[in-house]
Structure 1
Amino acid sequence: MTDYGIHCSHEQIPPAELLAAVVAAERAGFDAAMCSDHFSPWSERQGQSAFAWSWLGSALQATTSLSFGVVNAPGQRYHPAIIAQAIATLGAMYPGRFWAALGTGENSNEHITGGLWPRKEIRNARLLECVGVIRDLLGGAEVSRDGLVTVDRARLWTRPETPPPLIGAAVSTETAAWCAGWADGLVTVNAPEDHLRTMIAAYRDAGGRGPVCLQVHLSWAPTEAEAEAIAYDQWRGNVFAPPVCWDLALAEHFDVVAEQVPLARVREVVNVSADLGRHVEWLRSYAALGFDRIYLHHVGQELTGFVETFGAKVLPALR
């Protein structure tokens, strides 16, 4: 059976409000939660970007049964030994309730260190080195490396009995197949069903293990016009495929390139509808593709109505 979770967008919502929303989501019947780990929002209209790791400690403490995940990019803004320590600490405090998805990142978050933004193939190689460092540290080894990342005699003194899963983050079939070589699962974002089907197949055919997870961007409101306005205001800067979304540096850059984006284009990446039955149909279709976990990301900045309504009417219909 598919689990249905809530995605908590730190780029859009202040952390205290996001904490209240995820507590309400647990009460409303959501099974799980995941969050973004950004230094910068995608748009100045979104206007937030709290530190995900601080929030995760509070969220795990404030809830009782939800599992939590975070999408993280080690290697530039974060040293992998520090991420290993963060993963180990949450895993030790909340056994079985935490996972981390690892990806190559976006320039909008990573440029703050002042370092060069590497080419994609170098970012892939760097991520693979980081995964090795993190796994070895979680396994209890003392780690030294002299490669794309440098580590000198690092050791984790606090470790969980069972290391949390390290999930691969991917948006292409090529990356999904590559993740199969090192990941404990796969997470991606909503796309046309044919593409999602080929991504799952690419991951599984390459030997990929563990759950396959989907983050679904959606916009719901009592009227269609309100749902469209929310999606257009908050998410029109997020319609660009790689390499644009990887390589732009500032929120204002996304706002500039999104000035002429039509609503129809936003509808291609966000499931927009005031009809709850339509949302149920979309989510059932994703589940039928074989996703083990589906995380619902309402792209609006007010989550109360979404949590209450989907908890009362959408989740029961899916189950």
Structure 2
Amino acid sequence: MVFIGFHASHEQIAPSALLDAVAAAEGAGFDGAMCSDHLAPWSPRQGESGFALSWIGAALARTRFSIGMVNAPGQRYHPVMIAQAFATLEEMFPGRFWAAMGSGEAVNEHVTGDGWPPKPERNARLRESVDVIRRLMDGDEVTRDGLVRVHRARVWSRPAQPPPLFATAVSAETAAWAAGWADGLATVAQEPAALRRVVAAYRTAGGGGPCILQVHISWARTDAAAFSIARDQWRNGLLTPPVTWDLEQPEDFDDAVAGLDDHGLRKAVLIDHDPVSLASRIAELADIGFDRVYLHHVGRDQSAFLDMAASDLIPSLKEQL
């Protein structure tokens, strides 16, 4: 049985409302949740960006299922602070927290005033950061002078077992590289052939743990309404890496999508008004080789989607997966 999760989008929903939504998602029958970790939204229309590390503690306290987050240590976040934060969350909520570690995006990281490194350097910095975080959660005193600098750091409050640290990857090359250090793989929906390459690269390179898929969806009672939601809230889905890695401001994303074909959104977002059809489309992606699927309804109002998920979408998915 594939795990069906709920994605909580900090870019779109105020933290208090998102807390209500994740509690409602548990009540609707989702198996767990995950959240984004942004300093800025993708677009001014999204208009939010709560602090994920504060929010996730409240969300874990209010629910009983597992909740994970995406995190990019090394620039905006020093890895020592991330190790302390993760250790605290896991100590308070054993077995319920995980993180998917990525190399970051300039829209969140540029605020430090440091230069934005090229992708190979960001990957190397991520690997150093993950090594620091793991050693600190193991109880080591860490000193390092590399792409990240650490001086005699130690985390004193630690969990009995450290939480799993997965890798984020959108390409087969990054997935194969991550197989050497990650406890699992998290990626985002794209063309099925590309997803097959990502999963195969990770597994062939010896990657273990779960393969996790985040799927952007837009549901409404009519196709036109569902498309309108996607166009208003997730036009950034028309953009792909490396463009999305390097833009600095939400307004830059709006400028970059100006003039692009809106109908390309149907490749980035599963737009549907029929829950059974939507479930079939999600199941086809999950069958590629994913152990967990997290659903992100791109609308800012989650209540109608969660009602539909409880009554139709989740039961249909559980029949098909």
The 1-side partners of 2:221 and 2:120 are apart by: 45
Query: What displacement does 1:261 show?
Result: 2.3
Answer yes or no: is the 8 Å Cα contact 2:219–2:305 preserved in 1.
yes
1:238 counterpart residue number: 237
Alignment of 1:183-262 (within 5 A): 183-262=182-261
Q: Which amino acid aligns with 1:237?
A: N
The 1-side partners of 2:84 and 2:251 are apart by: 33
2:49 corresponds to 1:54: no
Moved over 6 A (4+): none
Query: What displacement does 1:144 show?
Result: 0.3
2:24 counterpart residue number: 24
Q: Using the TM superposition, name which of 226-235 and 192-201 deviates more.
A: 192-201
Deviations 1:236-267 (A, max 9, x none): 12321111100000000001111212221111
2:289 counterpart residue number: 290
Query: What displacement does 1:312 show?
Result: 1.2
1:63 counterpart residue number: 63
Answer yes or no: is the 8 Å Cα contact 1:236–1:261 preserved in 2.
no
The 2-side partners of 1:40 and 1:287 are apart by: 30
Q: Which amino acid aligns with 1:164?
A: P
Structure 2 gaps, min length 5: none
Structure 1 gaps, min length 5: none
TM-score normalised by length of structure 1: 0.99
The 2-side partners of 1:96 and 1:102 are apart by: 18
The 2-side partners of 1:259 and 1:192 are apart by: 23
SS state of the match for residue 153, structure 1?
A: strand
The 2-side partners of 1:299 and 1:151 are apart by: 39
Pairwise CA RMSD of aligned residues?
Answer: 0.7
SS state of the match for residue 160, structure 2?
A: coil
Answer yes or no: is the 8 Å Cα contact 1:238–1:245 preserved in 2.
no
SS state of the match for residue 219, structure 1?
A: strand
Query: What displacement does 1:308 show?
Result: 1.0
Alignment of 1:72-87 (within 5 A): 72-87=71-86
2:99 counterpart residue number: 100
1:126 counterpart residue number: 125
Answer yes or no: is the 8 Å Cα contact 1:180–1:209 preserved in 2.
yes
The 1-side partners of 2:262 and 2:218 are apart by: 13
The 2-side partners of 1:218 and 1:238 are apart by: 11
The 2-side partners of 1:301 and 1:119 are apart by: 33
The 2-side partners of 1:155 and 1:102 are apart by: 21
2:313 corresponds to 1:280: no
The 1-side partners of 2:33 and 2:260 are apart by: 30
SS state of the match for residue 100, structure 2?
A: strand
The 2-side partners of 1:192 and 1:111 are apart by: 30
Q: Which amino acid aligns with 1:108?
A: V
The 1-side partners of 2:238 and 2:160 are apart by: 41
Q: Which amino acid aligns with 1:265?
A: G
Alignment of 1:264-275 (within 5 A): 264-275=263-274
2:42 counterpart residue number: 42
Answer yes or no: is the 8 Å Cα contact 2:88–2:159 preserved in 1.
yes
SS state of the match for residue 313, structure 2?
A: helix
The 2-side partners of 1:174 and 1:278 are apart by: 32
Answer yes or no: is the 8 Å Cα contact 2:237–2:269 preserved in 1.
no
Q: Using the TM superposition, name which of 252-261 and 215-224 deviates more.
A: 252-261
Identity of aligned residues (%): 56
